[in-house]
Amino acid sequence: MSAIIKIENLKKKYKLGSINSGTLKGDIQEFFARVKGGKNNHKAKNEFWALDGVSLEIEDGEKIGIIGANGAGKSTLLKILSQITAPTEGRIEINGRISSMLEVGTGFHGELTGRENIYLNGAILGMSRREVDSKIEKIIEFSECADFIDTPVKRYSSGMYVKLAFAVAAHLDSEILIMDEVLAVGDIAFQNKCLDKMSLLSSEEKRTILYVSHNMSTIRKLCTKCAVLSHGKLIYFGDVEKAIEIYSDTANKMLLKNDLRNIERNDSFTNYKLIIQQAELLGRESNVIEYGEKLDFELLIFVKEVCQSAKLRCIIHNSERTPLATAVSKNVSFEKSGQEEKLQFSVDTSLLAPGKYRVKLELTKPDGYGSEEKYDMVNEAFNFEIMDTKSGLHNLNWYSHFWGNIVLPEIKVLEGNQ
């Protein structure tokens, strides 16, 4: 096999917040440093290296998983490979056409119908109308959107967007298929259908697949190799199980106070009227708790717009990011815009078995009809670990991957059986 993608010392720098240094003197220093080609001693404090020296070779026909915590650089890497953004430094060599699906609606024009968008995507890939004609019926059938194919896609639900976008990406001619975790928006049956299709594309059509996901079961099912990113660096590339082990260990080494401002948000349906900036575990010296205890947290929230009757949703996942439990707060109002507010809350984890957990936070406003306005969402706001040294469960050496993560009350043996 030959390398279809070569990445050498890839770097991507962003400036967070303002685009200047904040002072006239600093801007002048930066300008003359660029003119002279010398080192800029006035390095802005708000510079953020989303990728920092990533080198990687991917062979033709390989199925590569890319995993890492939020802010690790996964989405940035895919955007550079898809030529959505340019690298700050480094070199990329791509030997093939790329079909990518990075966010819901990427590559679609809202005013065009589903059918028209299929032809648009084909034209972007350099296909003729006749070539698209030969595939369009298969695309429509796979997408499960036949009844709406001549409706403008701006009226599609997020699930319909995903179904049509994947069908287009999977059936149009390209050598490389790049997928971000956007598949998680679809229903379970369609997710499995997509994974089966990607496996088929790789084995029969020899397509190269790059797949980002926080769901380790799908990584195991689809991928033959896996890359682990952490803080913009590639820390491992190789065996899938080893990669998942490294990722789990890395992701659970988190502080009591986590700054969430730099974490990239990828949900196009979030309006960010409220922004979760920081999550802090209260009253503890570490993120390890005793089995049966509660967790107290404090969030620092920037109120961009006044929001009334918001709810905080806390979704607890295991170390492989399978959702296990959800807690929802009562209504909370944020009455003053343009400032930060603190929100303290408590989560009862007493039913969770010993193990490592990750917490996703969402600020939403349900409309009472099954839908909601989404203010902010952070996939891995904080992590914690439950240990057992008192109850006796530790004597069982709890295997959550066999027994699950929820500990139900003790079995009561009925009278007459004792």
Report the pLDDT averaged over residues 48-71.
88
Measured in whole angstroms, the distance separating CA 123 from the mean position of its chain's CA atoms is: 29
C-alpha dihedral, 285 to 290 to 292 to 295, nearest 10°: 20
Say how far apart CA 295 and CA 280 lie, in whole Å.
11
Which residues make beta-bridge pairs with 56? 7
> b or e along 164-176 (b: 16 or more beta carbons within 10 Å of the residue's beta carbon)?
bbbbbbbbbebbb
pTM: predicted TM-score of the whole model, two decimal places = 0.60
- Mind listing the pLDDT tens digit for each residue in 5-34? 999 999 998 875 444 444 555 556 555 555
The DSSP secondary-structure symbol of 82 reads T
Q: Kindly indicate the confidence band of residue 90, based on its pLDDT and cuts at 50, 70 and 90.
A: very high
Q: How many residues does the chain have?
A: 418
Percent of the chain residues topping a pLDDT of 70: 84
Q: Which amino acid would we find at residue 189?
A: A
Tell me: pLDDT of 110 over 50.
yes
pLDDT of 392? 64
CB neighbours of 253 closer than 8 A, spacing ≥ 6? none
Say how far apart CA 122 and CA 127 lie, in whole Å.
5
pLDDT of 276? 93
Q: Which residue has the tokens 């070569």?
A: 6
Q: Is 185 helix (H, G, I), strand (E, B) or coil?
A: helix
Report the pLDDT averaged over residues 395-414.
75
pLDDT of 193? 83
Say how far apart CA 384 and CA 398 lie, in whole Å.
17
pLDDT of 221? 83
Q: Kindly indicate the confidence band of residue 120, based on its pLDDT and cuts at 50, 70 and 90.
A: confident
pLDDT of 37? 54
Say how far apart CA 396 and CA 225 lie, in whole Å.
34
User: Which two tokens mark 349?
Assistant: 């984890």
CB neighbours of 358 closer than 8 A, spacing ≥ 6? 251, 252, 316, 317, 318, 319, 321, 380, 382, 383
Q: Is 133 helix (H, G, I), strand (E, B) or coil?
A: helix
